[in-house]
Structure 1
Amino acid sequence: MKPGKYGDSFEEEERRMRDSLLGDENEDTCQLESQQDEKPRITRSGHGSRNKWIDRLILGLLVFWVYVFLPFGKDASDEDTVLREDGWSWESIKPDSELVWHPCFDEFDCARLEVPLDWLEPTNSSKVVLAVLRKNATSNVDYKGPLFVNPGGPGGSGVGTVKDFWKAVHVTVGANHDIIGFDPRGIGATTPSAHCWNGPREERIWGIQKLGLVDSHPGMIYDLYAHQSVESRNCEANLGDLSRFLGTASVARDMLEILNKLGYEKLRYWGLSYGTVIGGTFAAMYPDKVERLVSDGNVNYSEWYNGTGIHYIEDTDKVMLAFFDLCHKAGPQKCALYASTPVAIQERLEGIYTKLQKYPLQVFPTTNNTMELQSLGITRPRILTYSDVKNAVIYSLYQPLALFHHLAKALAALEADDGIPFLKLAIAQGHIQPSFTCSCNSPDCEEESGWPLKAIGNGDAATYVKCGEGDADADKDSLEVMIKYEEELRRKSPLSASVMFNIRLSCAGWKSRTKWNFVAPFEQNTSHPILFIGNSADNITPLGSAIYNSRFFPGSSVLVQNSYGHTSASCPSKCTAKYRLAYFQDGILPANGTVCEPDFIPFGIEVEGMDSQSDGDEELEGMDSQSDGDEELEWALRELMKLL
Structure 2
Amino acid sequence: MIRPARRPAATVACLLVPVLLLAACAVPPKNQVALEDVGKSSSATEGSSAAASGAPDGFEDFYTQPVEWSDCGGFECATVDAPLDWHEPGAGSIEIAMKKLPATTDDPQGSLLVNPGGPGASGIGLVESTSNFGFRLRAAFDIVGFDPRGVGQSTPVTCVDDETKDEFLTTDYPETDKGIAQQIEAIRQWGKACAENTGDLLGNVDTQSAARDMDMLRAVLGDEKLNYLGYSYGTQLGATYAGLFPGNTGRLVLDGAIDITLSPDQVAAEQAVGFENALRAYVEDCLAGPDCPLGGSVDLGLQQIRAMVNDAAAHPIATSSGRSVTKNLAFYGVAMPLYNEANWSYLTTALREIFWEGRGDTLLLLADSYNDRNADGSFSSNSEEAFRAINCADDRATEDLDKMKQLAADIVAEAPTLGESFGYSGIGCADWPYPPAKKEFDVHAKGAAPIMVIGTTNDPATPYRWSKALAGTLDSGFLVTYEGEGHTAYGRSNECIDGAVEDYLVDGEVPDGALTC
Query: Which TM class, normalised by the smaller chain length?
Result: 0.7 to 0.9
Task: Say whether residues 1:281 and 2:240 are aligned partners.
Answer: yes
CA distance in structure 2 between the partners assigned to 1:477 and 1:158 by the alignment = 32
**Alpha carbons of 1:304 and 1:106: their partners in 2 closer, same or farther (altered >3 Å)?**
farther
Aligned to 1:419: 360
Contact 2:318/2:359 (8 A) holds in 1: no
Match of 1:111 in 2: 78
Report the counterpart of residue 352 of structure 1 in structure 2.
308
1:249-268 to 2 correspondences below 5 Å: 249-268=208-227
CA–CA distance in structure 2, aligned partners of residues 182 and 148 of structure 1 = 8
User: Deviation at 1:503?
Assistant: 6.1
Deviates more, 1:267-276 or 1:386-395: 386-395
Indicate whether 1:61 and 2:32 are aligned.
no
Q: Which amino acid aligns with 1:169?
A: F
| SS at 2:493 equivalent | coil
In structure 2, what is the Cα distance between the partners aligned to 1:295 and 1:59? 20
1:354 CA drift (Å): 5.9
2:293 maps to 1:337: yes
Distance between the aligned counterparts of 2:143 and 2:198, measured in 1? Answer: 31
Residues 454 and 489, structure 2, Cα contact 8 Å, conserved in 1: yes
Aligned-pair CA distance for 1:264: 1.9
- Number of the residue aligned with 2:15: none
1:519 aligns with 2:440: yes
Give the distance between the partners of 1:392 and 1:556, measured in 2 at CA: 35
| Corresponding residue number in structure 1 for 2:477 | 556
Moved more, 340-349 or 273-282: 340-349
Compared CA separation, residues 168 and 382, structure 1 to 2 (3 A) = closer
Matched, 1:133 2:62: no
CA contact (8 A) 1:149 1:179 kept: yes
Which letter does structure 2 place at the counterpart of 1:408? Answer: T
Q: Name the structure 1 match of 2:385.
A: 460
Aligned with 2:130 (options 166, 174, 180): 166
Using the size of structure 1 for normalisation, the TM-score is 0.65
Q: Which residue of 1 aligns with 2:262?
A: 303
Alignment partners' CA distance in 1, 2:348 and 2:490: 22
* 2:410 maps to 1:488: yes
The 8 Å contact of residues 100 and 143 in structure 2, kept in 1 or not, is answered as: yes
CA distance in 1, matches of 2:324, 2:113: 44
Measure, in 2, the Cα distance between the counterparts of 1:132 and 1:409: 38
Aligned pair in 2 of structure 1 residues 308, 348: CA closer, same or farther (>3 Å)?
closer
Aligned to 1:195: 158
Amino acid at match of 2:204: F
Unaligned runs of 5+ in 1: 1-57, 65-87, 89-94, 364-372, 437-443, 445-450, 597-644
3-state DSSP of counterpart to 2:383: coil
Task: Give a deviation string over 1:587-622, Cα, whole Å, max 9, x none.
Answer: 1223554221xxxxxxxxxxxxxxxxxxxxxxxxxx
What amino acid does structure 1 have at the position aligned with 2:206? Answer: G
Q: Partners in 1 of 2:497 and 2:250 — Cα distance?
A: 20
TM-score, structure 2 as length reference? 0.80
Change (3 A) 1:183 1:502: farther
Contact 2:63 2:220 in 1 (8 A): no
Residue 432 of structure 1: CA displacement?
7.3
Distance 2:382 2:147 in 1: 9
Q: CA RMSD in A?
A: 3.3
Counterpart of 2:456 in structure 1: which amino acid? N
Hey, what's the Cα distance between the residues in 1 that align with 2:452 and 2:193? Answer: 40
2:503 to 582, 600, 607: 582
In structure 2, the partner of 1:243 is 202
- Note if contact 1:307-1:469 (Cα within 8 Å) is conserved in structure 2: no
> Is 2:347 aligned against 1:388?
no
- 8 A Cα contact 2:150 2:157, kept in partner: yes
The question of whether the paired residues in 2 share the 8 Å contact of 1:423 and 1:432 is answered with no
Give distance in 1, aligned partners of 2:100 and 2:165. 36
Change (3 A) 1:432 1:344: farther
The percentage of aligned residue pairs carrying the same residue is 24
CA shift, 1:405, in A, is 1.2
1:462 Cα shift? 0.8
Alpha-carbon distance in 1 for matches of 2:342, 2:401: 38
Unmatched runs of 5 consecutive residues or more in structure 2: 1-25, 33-41, 43-61
TM-superposed CA distance for 1:173, in Å, is: 2.7
1:408 and 2:348 matched: yes
SS at match of 1:460: helix
Taking the aligned partners of 1:108 and 1:419, their CA distance within structure 2 comes to 39
Counterpart check, 1:220 vs 2:179:
yes
Change (3 A) 1:221 1:187: same
Q: Tell whether the 8 Å contact from 2:229 to 2:253 is kept in structure 1 after alignment.
A: yes
Distance 2:439 2:265 in 1: 11
Paired residue total: 463
Q: Which moved more, 1:295-304 or 1:579-588?
A: 295-304
Q: Which residue of 1 aligns with 2:18?
A: none
For the 8 Å contact 2:244–2:440, the answer to whether it is kept is no
Shift of 1:542: 1.0
